[in-house]
Chains A and B, each alone.
With several copies, the nearest count.
Chain A
Amino acid sequence: MITILYFASIREHMGKAKETVELTENITTVEALIRHLSETNSAFNQLCQSANSPLISVNQVFAEPSSPIVFGDEVGFFPSMTGG
Protein backbone atom coordinates (compact mmCIF):
# COMPACT_ATOMS: atom_id res chain seq x y z
CA MET A 1 0.00 0.00 0.00
CA ILE A 2 1.13 3.54 -0.75
CA THR A 3 -0.21 6.96 0.27
CA ILE A 4 -1.06 9.56 -2.34
CA LEU A 5 -1.35 13.25 -1.49
CA TYR A 6 -2.89 15.99 -3.63
CA PHE A 7 -2.21 19.69 -3.12
CA ALA A 8 -3.65 23.10 -3.99
CA SER A 9 -5.59 23.22 -7.30
CA ILE A 10 -4.99 19.49 -7.81
CA ARG A 11 -6.45 18.71 -4.37
CA GLU A 12 -9.53 20.74 -5.30
CA HIS A 13 -9.79 19.09 -8.71
CA MET A 14 -9.50 15.60 -7.20
CA GLY A 15 -11.96 16.46 -4.42
CA LYS A 16 -9.65 14.91 -1.85
CA ALA A 17 -6.29 15.58 -0.16
CA LYS A 18 -5.25 11.97 0.37
CA GLU A 19 -5.90 8.40 -0.66
CA THR A 20 -4.27 5.02 -0.30
CA VAL A 21 -3.65 2.69 -3.21
CA GLU A 22 -2.81 -1.03 -3.15
CA LEU A 23 0.41 -1.78 -5.01
CA THR A 24 -0.06 -4.47 -7.59
CA GLU A 25 3.08 -6.13 -8.95
CA ASN A 26 3.06 -4.06 -12.16
CA ILE A 27 3.13 -0.72 -10.29
CA THR A 28 6.87 -0.34 -9.76
CA THR A 29 7.47 3.20 -11.07
CA VAL A 30 5.81 6.62 -10.92
CA GLU A 31 4.90 6.19 -14.57
CA ALA A 32 3.07 2.92 -13.89
CA LEU A 33 1.27 4.49 -10.93
CA ILE A 34 0.10 7.39 -13.10
CA ARG A 35 -1.18 4.92 -15.73
CA HIS A 36 -3.05 2.99 -13.03
CA LEU A 37 -4.62 6.13 -11.54
CA SER A 38 -5.61 7.43 -14.99
CA GLU A 39 -7.40 4.18 -15.78
CA THR A 40 -9.29 4.02 -12.52
CA ASN A 41 -10.09 7.69 -11.88
CA SER A 42 -11.50 10.01 -14.53
CA ALA A 43 -10.59 13.18 -12.58
CA PHE A 44 -6.98 12.02 -12.49
CA ASN A 45 -7.11 11.11 -16.17
CA GLN A 46 -8.33 14.65 -16.97
CA LEU A 47 -5.44 16.06 -14.96
CA CYS A 48 -2.89 14.16 -17.01
CA GLN A 49 -4.35 15.39 -20.27
CA SER A 50 -4.18 19.04 -19.24
CA ALA A 51 -1.43 21.35 -20.46
CA ASN A 52 0.08 21.70 -16.98
CA SER A 53 0.85 18.16 -15.92
CA PRO A 54 1.36 17.78 -12.17
CA LEU A 55 4.72 17.80 -10.43
CA ILE A 56 5.49 14.62 -8.54
CA SER A 57 7.29 13.79 -5.30
CA VAL A 58 8.13 10.41 -3.79
CA ASN A 59 8.76 10.45 -0.03
CA GLN A 60 8.88 14.24 -0.11
CA VAL A 61 11.60 14.44 -2.75
CA PHE A 62 11.02 15.55 -6.36
CA ALA A 63 10.55 12.50 -8.61
CA GLU A 64 10.57 11.58 -12.31
CA PRO A 65 8.25 9.22 -14.22
CA SER A 66 11.00 6.59 -14.01
CA SER A 67 11.43 6.87 -10.21
CA PRO A 68 10.73 3.56 -8.42
CA ILE A 69 7.72 3.09 -6.16
CA VAL A 70 7.79 0.59 -3.29
CA PHE A 71 5.46 -0.44 -0.49
CA GLY A 72 4.93 2.32 2.08
CA ASP A 73 5.93 5.21 -0.21
CA GLU A 74 4.27 8.63 0.02
CA VAL A 75 3.58 10.08 -3.43
CA GLY A 76 2.61 13.72 -3.91
CA PHE A 77 0.95 15.35 -6.93
CA PHE A 78 0.94 19.12 -7.10
CA PRO A 79 0.88 22.13 -9.43
CA SER A 80 3.90 24.36 -10.02
CA MET A 81 4.92 26.12 -6.85
CA THR A 82 4.41 29.78 -5.97
CA GLY A 83 6.22 30.43 -2.69
CA GLY A 84 8.21 33.46 -1.61
Chain B
Amino acid sequence: MISVQTSDFELEAEYTSLRNHAGDAGAIVMFTGLVREICTAQSDNPGDLDKTERLFLEHYPGMTEKQLEKIAREASERWPLLAVRIIHRVGELFPGDQIVLVATASSHRQAAFESANFIMDFLKSRAPFWKKQTSSAESRWIESRISDVDSLKRWRE
Protein backbone atom coordinates (compact mmCIF):
# COMPACT_ATOMS: atom_id res chain seq x y z
CA MET B 1 0.00 0.00 0.00
CA ILE B 2 2.92 2.35 0.77
CA SER B 3 6.24 2.40 -1.08
CA VAL B 4 9.24 4.73 -0.88
CA GLN B 5 11.61 3.75 -3.65
CA THR B 6 14.34 4.93 -6.00
CA SER B 7 12.97 2.85 -8.88
CA ASP B 8 10.29 4.03 -11.28
CA PHE B 9 6.75 2.63 -11.24
CA GLU B 10 4.34 1.36 -13.89
CA LEU B 11 0.92 2.98 -13.76
CA GLU B 12 -0.85 0.04 -15.41
CA ALA B 13 0.50 -2.48 -12.90
CA GLU B 14 -0.65 -0.30 -10.00
CA TYR B 15 -4.05 0.23 -11.59
CA THR B 16 -4.55 -3.49 -12.20
CA SER B 17 -3.56 -4.33 -8.66
CA LEU B 18 -5.92 -1.68 -7.30
CA ARG B 19 -8.83 -2.99 -9.40
CA ASN B 20 -8.14 -6.51 -8.17
CA HIS B 21 -8.07 -5.46 -4.53
CA ALA B 22 -10.88 -2.93 -4.54
CA GLY B 23 -13.84 -5.30 -4.81
CA ASP B 24 -16.90 -3.59 -6.25
CA ALA B 25 -15.26 -0.19 -6.77
CA GLY B 26 -17.05 2.26 -9.02
CA ALA B 27 -14.36 4.95 -9.08
CA ILE B 28 -10.57 4.95 -9.23
CA VAL B 29 -8.55 8.16 -9.11
CA MET B 30 -4.85 8.05 -9.94
CA PHE B 31 -2.75 11.14 -9.38
CA THR B 32 0.76 11.23 -10.83
CA GLY B 33 3.27 13.96 -10.02
CA LEU B 34 6.02 14.59 -12.58
CA VAL B 35 9.29 16.54 -12.35
CA ARG B 36 8.81 19.86 -14.10
CA GLU B 37 11.54 21.59 -16.00
CA ILE B 38 10.15 24.96 -14.95
CA CYS B 39 9.59 24.58 -11.25
CA THR B 40 7.68 27.39 -9.60
CA ALA B 41 7.74 25.63 -6.22
CA GLN B 42 11.02 27.28 -5.27
CA SER B 43 9.71 30.80 -5.58
CA ASP B 44 6.59 32.73 -6.41
CA ASN B 45 8.56 35.07 -8.64
CA PRO B 46 8.75 33.56 -12.15
CA GLY B 47 11.64 35.90 -13.04
CA ASP B 48 13.78 33.94 -10.56
CA LEU B 49 13.57 30.65 -12.34
CA ASP B 50 15.91 28.73 -14.49
CA LYS B 51 15.45 25.25 -15.92
CA THR B 52 15.75 22.20 -13.73
CA GLU B 53 18.46 19.83 -14.89
CA ARG B 54 17.86 17.33 -12.11
CA LEU B 55 16.19 16.94 -8.76
CA PHE B 56 17.50 15.11 -5.73
CA LEU B 57 14.89 13.80 -3.29
CA GLU B 58 16.09 13.14 0.25
CA HIS B 59 13.85 11.60 2.91
CA TYR B 60 13.91 10.32 6.48
CA PRO B 61 13.85 6.50 6.16
CA GLY B 62 11.52 5.02 8.73
CA MET B 63 9.71 8.23 9.56
CA THR B 64 8.62 8.67 5.93
CA GLU B 65 6.91 5.29 5.85
CA LYS B 66 5.23 5.99 9.20
CA GLN B 67 3.89 9.31 7.97
CA LEU B 68 2.63 7.81 4.71
CA GLU B 69 0.87 5.01 6.60
CA LYS B 70 -0.68 7.61 8.86
CA ILE B 71 -1.86 9.74 5.94
CA ALA B 72 -3.37 6.68 4.21
CA ARG B 73 -5.08 5.64 7.46
CA GLU B 74 -6.52 9.12 7.99
CA ALA B 75 -7.89 9.15 4.44
CA SER B 76 -9.49 5.72 4.98
CA GLU B 77 -11.15 6.99 8.15
CA ARG B 78 -12.57 10.07 6.45
CA TRP B 79 -13.78 8.45 3.23
CA PRO B 80 -15.19 4.97 2.45
CA LEU B 81 -12.16 3.75 0.50
CA LEU B 82 -11.76 0.27 -0.91
CA ALA B 83 -8.04 0.65 -1.66
CA VAL B 84 -5.25 3.20 -1.29
CA ARG B 85 -1.82 3.17 -2.92
CA ILE B 86 1.00 5.65 -2.35
CA ILE B 87 4.36 5.47 -4.10
CA HIS B 88 6.94 8.21 -3.53
CA ARG B 89 10.27 8.13 -5.28
CA VAL B 90 13.54 9.33 -3.74
CA GLY B 91 17.05 9.86 -5.10
CA GLU B 92 17.99 11.49 -8.36
CA LEU B 93 15.22 12.42 -10.82
CA PHE B 94 15.08 14.29 -14.12
CA PRO B 95 12.46 16.49 -15.84
CA GLY B 96 9.48 14.41 -16.98
CA ASP B 97 10.18 11.63 -14.44
CA GLN B 98 7.39 10.35 -12.23
CA ILE B 99 7.87 11.44 -8.58
CA VAL B 100 4.71 10.35 -6.86
CA LEU B 101 1.60 8.23 -7.34
CA VAL B 102 -1.51 8.50 -5.18
CA ALA B 103 -4.35 6.17 -6.13
CA THR B 104 -7.66 5.66 -4.37
CA ALA B 105 -10.62 3.40 -5.09
CA SER B 106 -14.12 3.82 -3.75
CA SER B 107 -17.73 3.03 -4.55
CA HIS B 108 -18.21 6.74 -4.98
CA ARG B 109 -16.60 9.27 -7.22
CA GLN B 110 -16.35 12.15 -4.75
CA ALA B 111 -14.71 9.95 -2.11
CA ALA B 112 -12.05 8.87 -4.61
CA PHE B 113 -11.37 12.43 -5.80
CA GLU B 114 -11.34 14.07 -2.39
CA SER B 115 -9.23 11.44 -0.66
CA ALA B 116 -6.55 11.52 -3.39
CA ASN B 117 -6.43 15.31 -3.15
CA PHE B 118 -6.27 15.12 0.66
CA ILE B 119 -3.38 12.64 0.57
CA MET B 120 -1.46 14.87 -1.86
CA ASP B 121 -1.95 17.91 0.39
CA PHE B 122 -0.55 16.01 3.34
CA LEU B 123 2.32 14.54 1.33
CA LYS B 124 3.38 18.03 0.31
CA SER B 125 3.97 19.29 3.80
CA ARG B 126 3.62 16.51 6.39
CA ALA B 127 5.90 13.79 5.02
CA PRO B 128 9.67 14.13 5.51
CA PHE B 129 10.80 14.59 1.92
CA TRP B 130 13.08 17.37 0.70
CA LYS B 131 13.86 18.36 -2.86
CA LYS B 132 17.15 19.78 -4.05
CA GLN B 133 17.00 21.31 -7.48
CA THR B 134 20.03 21.56 -9.76
CA SER B 135 19.81 24.02 -12.63
CA SER B 136 22.53 25.30 -14.94
CA ALA B 137 23.06 28.14 -12.45
CA GLU B 138 23.10 26.40 -9.08
CA SER B 139 21.93 23.69 -6.69
CA ARG B 140 19.47 24.63 -4.01
CA TRP B 141 16.96 23.17 -1.60
CA ILE B 142 13.41 23.96 -2.63
CA GLU B 143 11.53 25.82 0.07
CA SER B 144 8.02 24.88 1.02
CA ARG B 145 5.36 27.14 -0.38
CA ILE B 146 2.97 28.95 1.85
CA SER B 147 0.17 27.81 -0.47
CA ASP B 148 0.97 24.17 0.32
CA VAL B 149 0.68 24.79 4.03
CA ASP B 150 -2.56 26.72 3.45
CA SER B 151 -3.99 23.84 1.41
CA LEU B 152 -3.88 21.68 4.51
CA LYS B 153 -6.31 23.95 6.32
CA ARG B 154 -9.16 22.93 4.01
CA TRP B 155 -9.30 19.54 5.67
CA ARG B 156 -9.63 20.73 9.26
CA GLU B 157 -13.17 20.51 10.47
Contacts and interface: CB of A to CB of B under 8 A. Distances in A.
Asked whether the complex places CB atoms of A and B closer than 8 A, the reply is yes
Interface of A: 5, 7-9, 11, 57, 60-61, 76, 78-84
Contact of B126 (A7, A9, A11, A81): A81
Contact of A60 (B63, B88, B143, B148): B63
Contacts of A83: 59, 88, 100, 123-125, 127-129, 131
Provide the main secondary structure of the chain B interface: mixed
Contact of B128 (A7, A9, A11, A84): A7
Given A8-B130, A8-B141, A83-B127, A78 B100 contact: no
Given A79-B130, A79-B141, A83-B129, A57 B60 contact: yes
Contacts of B124: 81-84
Contact of B99 (A5, A8, A84): A84
Given A57-B60, A76-B63, A82-B124, A9 B141 contact: yes
Given A8-B132, A11-B58, 19 more contacts: A7-B130, A8-B141, A60-B66, A61-B63, A76-B63, A78-B60, A80-B125, A80-B143, A81-B124, A81-B144, A82-B41, A82-B130, A82-B131, A83-B100, A83-B123, A83-B125, A83-B129, A83-B131, A84-B33
